[in-house]
A and B are shown apart, each in its own frame.
Chain A
């Protein structure tokens, strides 16, 4: 699977974020969108996800035969807003997204991400890192082939960081496309870096 961005132009009011930007991403490695604050990493993910609309240009996906396809219903997006309900418990949040995606939550993910003992706690009682792990569990649950992850490793402890890195790396071996924004490089063993802001 490949992602092609051609002649992308996007601005927030007067501030130009992307000007005639061209990017090609192949799915055989995890793609890291690297850059300083304000260089448009999160914006690029939103544009690819369809949350933002580009002023002009083209964003398309192609399969291994080069055929262009619509990514509708194929994208799992993890943004700064985690899409979890503070009023509900961890279990209720996961159960909702499970019903939404029509997938059964994998018990193994609760164990891997050390969320088992937090299962019946209200999300409002969780730390930022635990909320992040819960949001990542939603991405796993979605079982979508395209993952757009905005700083998925922020606020996490060392063990959880390693677990999530491992889970993301496993995805790439299944012919999926994974884009991750980050402030650091050399996170994954198989990664390609796209530096924004140059």
Chain B
């Protein structure tokens, strides 16, 4: 428990000194949100029907583009080995790194989500609901993505590999996250049901993924 605060404090310090990760994620998110409607054409109804999915996809990709920073720096300078072997509860140390990433990359993205929603012509009510769903599913998204990051530690340019590895795991989130906003949905999938399912996925990830992460990191470390 005692390692959580020092690790978060140090990581935030390093991220703030090298702000590129924050800005790259935000700029990438806004660029993707802006380009996608152009490709769809002038039919506003088509855009309205697919814009919830587009917002989710823009958010996924912005996370996957940056997820390699979670362990990369610590792996390169040897801190990761020490955190794993010298912590009495390395799982908590790993969770601290996930919290740092959430604060430095996901939180700024969440702040820019309404702008992305407006660019994609989403109704204001839907934007609020999608933001709630994204926030609640973000622990699952980051933890699963960090598995990809841990597996690709030794790869020189890991972003593409991580994206290919992790995208299939995001399909359930995409389904649960967009169903409440689909017109003529035969399942009549409500927002609260989505919220419940995505919360369950996040809780499942918080409980189990840190153990898997420790295993993968130990196998992949020196």
* Chain A contact residues, CB within 8 Å of chain B: 46, 49-53, 72-73, 75-77, 79-88, 92, 96, 99-102, 142, 144
- With both beta carbons as reference points, the residue of chain B lying nearest to A46 in the complex is identified as B222
* Chain B contact residues, CB within 8 Å of chain A: 2-3, 5-7, 9-10, 13-14, 17-18, 73, 76-79, 81-82, 84-88, 218, 221-222
Q: Do B6 and A73 touch (CB < 8 A)?
A: no
Q: Do A88 and B2 touch (CB < 8 A)?
A: no
Q: Do A77 and B82 touch (CB < 8 A)?
A: yes
Q: Out of A49, A51, A86, name the residue touching B77 (CB < 8 Å).
A: A86
Q: Do A142 and B86 touch (CB < 8 A)?
A: yes
Q: Do A100 and B6 touch (CB < 8 A)?
A: yes
- With both beta carbons as reference points, the residue of chain A lying nearest to B73 in the complex is identified as A85
Query: What is the bound-complex CA distance between A83 and B85, given in angstroms?
Result: 13
Q: A83-B77, A83-B78, A87-B18 are in contact. Are A96 and B222 (CB under 8 A)?
A: no
Q: A96-B6, A99-B6 are in contact. Are A87 and B17 (CB under 8 A)?
A: yes
Q: A92-B13, A102-B2 are in contact. Are A79 and B7 (CB under 8 A)?
A: no
Q: Do A76 and B86 touch (CB < 8 A)?
A: yes
Q: A82-B77, A83-B82 are in contact. Are A73 and B14 (CB under 8 A)?
A: no
Pairs across A and B, CB under 8 Å, 6 listed = A49-B85, A51-B84, A79-B78, A83-B78, A85-B14, A100-B6
Q: A75-B86, A87-B18 are in contact. Are A96 and B10 (CB under 8 A)?
A: yes
- With both beta carbons as reference points, the residue of chain A lying nearest to B87 in the complex is identified as A73
- With both beta carbons as reference points, the residue of chain A lying nearest to B81 in the complex is identified as A51
Complex contacts, B17 vs chain A, CB 8 Å: 87-88
- With both beta carbons as reference points, the residue of chain B lying nearest to A42 in the complex is identified as B222
Q: Do A81 and B81 touch (CB < 8 A)?
A: yes
- With both beta carbons as reference points, the residue of chain B lying nearest to A86 in the complex is identified as B77
- With both beta carbons as reference points, the residue of chain B lying nearest to A49 in the complex is identified as B85
- With both beta carbons as reference points, the residue of chain B lying nearest to A84 in the complex is identified as B77
Query: What is the bound-complex CA distance between A195 and B25, given in angstroms?
Result: 52
Complex contacts, A83 vs chain B, CB 8 Å: 77-79, 81-82
3 A-B pairs closest in CB distance? A81-B78, A99-B6, A83-B78
Query: What is the bound-complex CA distance between A96 and B79, given in angstroms?
Result: 11
Complex contacts, B6 vs chain A, CB 8 Å: 96, 99-100
Report which residue of B73, B87, B222 has the largest number of chain A beta carbons within 10 angstroms of its beta carbon: B222
- With both beta carbons as reference points, the residue of chain A lying nearest to B76 in the complex is identified as A81
- With both beta carbons as reference points, the residue of chain B lying nearest to A142 in the complex is identified as B86
Complex contacts, B221 vs chain A, CB 8 Å: 51
Complex contacts, A102 vs chain B, CB 8 Å: 2
Complex contacts, A72 vs chain B, CB 8 Å: 88
Q: Out of B3, B10, B85, name the residue touching A77 (CB < 8 Å).
A: B85
Q: Do A77 and B81 touch (CB < 8 A)?
A: yes
Min CB–CB distance A96 → chain B (angstroms): 5
Query: What is the bound-complex CA distance between A101 and B86, given in angstroms?
Result: 9
Min CB–CB distance A74 → chain B (angstroms): 9
- With both beta carbons as reference points, the residue of chain B lying nearest to A81 in the complex is identified as B78
Complex contacts, A52 vs chain B, CB 8 Å: 222
Query: What is the bound-complex CA distance between A124 and B218, given in angstroms?
Result: 28
Min CB–CB distance B22 → chain A (angstroms): 15
- With both beta carbons as reference points, the residue of chain A lying nearest to B93 in the complex is identified as A100
Query: What is the bound-complex CA distance between A53 and B85, given in angstroms?
Result: 12
Q: Do B222 and A99 touch (CB < 8 A)?
A: no
- With both beta carbons as reference points, the residue of chain A lying nearest to B221 in the complex is identified as A51
Query: What is the bound-complex CA distance between A103 and B77, given in angstroms?
Result: 22
Query: What is the bound-complex CA distance between A96 and B9, given in angstroms?
Result: 8
Query: What is the bound-complex CA distance between A195 and B10, given in angstroms?
Result: 40
Q: Do A87 and B2 touch (CB < 8 A)?
A: no
Min CB–CB distance B1 → chain A (angstroms): 11
Query: What is the bound-complex CA distance between A85 and B79, given in angstroms?
Result: 9
